[in-house]
Structure 1
Amino acid sequence: MFTLDPQLEHDTLPIGDFPLCRLLLINDAQYPWFVLVPRREDVSEVFQLSEADRQALWNETTFLAEALKDTFAADKINVAALGNVVSQLHMHVIARRRSDVAWPAPVWGKYPPKPYEAAQVDTIKDKLRMVLASSFTFIEAGA
């Protein structure tokens, strides 16, 4: 049974599910920063996934990255799977803009997070609904 790491649960807002991954939004309104978490037990490394799941992870990451680039008018998309703090396999997909507070440095730990307001999350979901709807199930608030 899939369980989300407590740190990821604390730092993110649930957006929805792709066929393999749960899509989360890092609760920091300074950046459109998303995390994909394969819904598989006890996986900390990409190579621990089956070949089909590895391909699905890459396909979902690529699909999300392209959607974010267009939706958020990103200058650059950052994709990373680090796992030094949270060992559960998760893929960061961040839409960066030259105007963001941390540009060109990494977003990790440089500035304190600014939590989203509910209306901002609804706006993000509405934007993503248009581009992800065919292969995605949204998680509604309170679910």
Structure 2
Amino acid sequence: MVELHSRLAADTGALGETSLCWLRWMRDGRFPWLIVVPKREALREWHHLPVVEQGRLLSTVNHLAAELERVTGAEKINIGALGNLVPQLHVHIIARFQNDPCWPGPVWGQGTPQPIEAPPAWLGDLRLPQ
């Protein structure tokens, strides 16, 4: 049975899931930030998924990107699947604003995270994929 990587479990909160993916939110109060993690054992790269599941993952990411934009009014949505520190495939979806602390640069390795425990209010307005 596949398990969520310990770093992802520590840094994120549960939002929901689909038959393919866990849906998570990042516990950094600086940014509205979602994480999508396919529930597949030892999966490191998107292109290692079967083509049908690649399409389902893309559909999930696109849905959540549009929802994050809608509920936050983001000026830009950043999507990335780096995996340099956490090898388990996971996709970041981050709402960005010109006044955010890292604009216009990337969020990774920049500044000091602001840990939050309670789900942010904007999550309540998010429509999750089926």
Q: TM-score range with shorter-chain normalisation?
A: over 0.9
Displacement after TM superposition at 1:116 (Å): 1.9
* 1:48-100 superposed Cα distances (whole Å, 9 cap, x missing partner): 11111100010000011011111110000000111111110000110111111
1:123 is aligned to 121
Unaligned runs of 5+ in 2: none
Partner residue, 2:95: 95
Contact 2:71–2:122 (Cα < 8 Å) also in 1: no
Root-mean-square deviation over aligned CA pairs: 1.3
Per the TM alignment, residue 19 of structure 1 is displaced from its structure 2 partner at its CA by 3.0
> CA shift at 1:125, angstroms?
3.0
| 1:74 equivalent in structure 2 | 74
Deviation by residue 1:12-38 (Cα, 9 ceiling, x = unmatched): 111111232111111101000111000
What residue ranges of structure 1 are gaps of 5+ in the alignment? 136-143
Q: Which amino acid in 1 is paired with 2:80? A: A
Residue 123 of structure 1 deviates from its aligned partner by 1.9
Relative to its length, the structure with more helix (as a share) is 1
CA separation in 1, counterparts of 2:18 and 2:121? 19
- Residue in structure 1 matched with residue 22 of structure 2 by the alignment: 22
SS at match of 1:59: helix
Q: TM-score, normalised by structure 2?
A: 0.93
User: What pairs up with 1:1-143 in 2 under 5 angstroms?
Assistant: 1-118=1-118, 121=119, 123-128=121-126, 131-132=127-128, 135=130
SS in 2 for 1:110: coil
Number of aligned residue pairs: 130
Amino acid across the alignment from 1:124: W
Q: Which amino acid aligns with 2:58?
A: W
d(CA) in 2 for partners of 1:19, 1:75: 31
TM-score (structure 1 length as normaliser):
0.85
In percent, how many aligned pairs have the same letter? Answer: 39
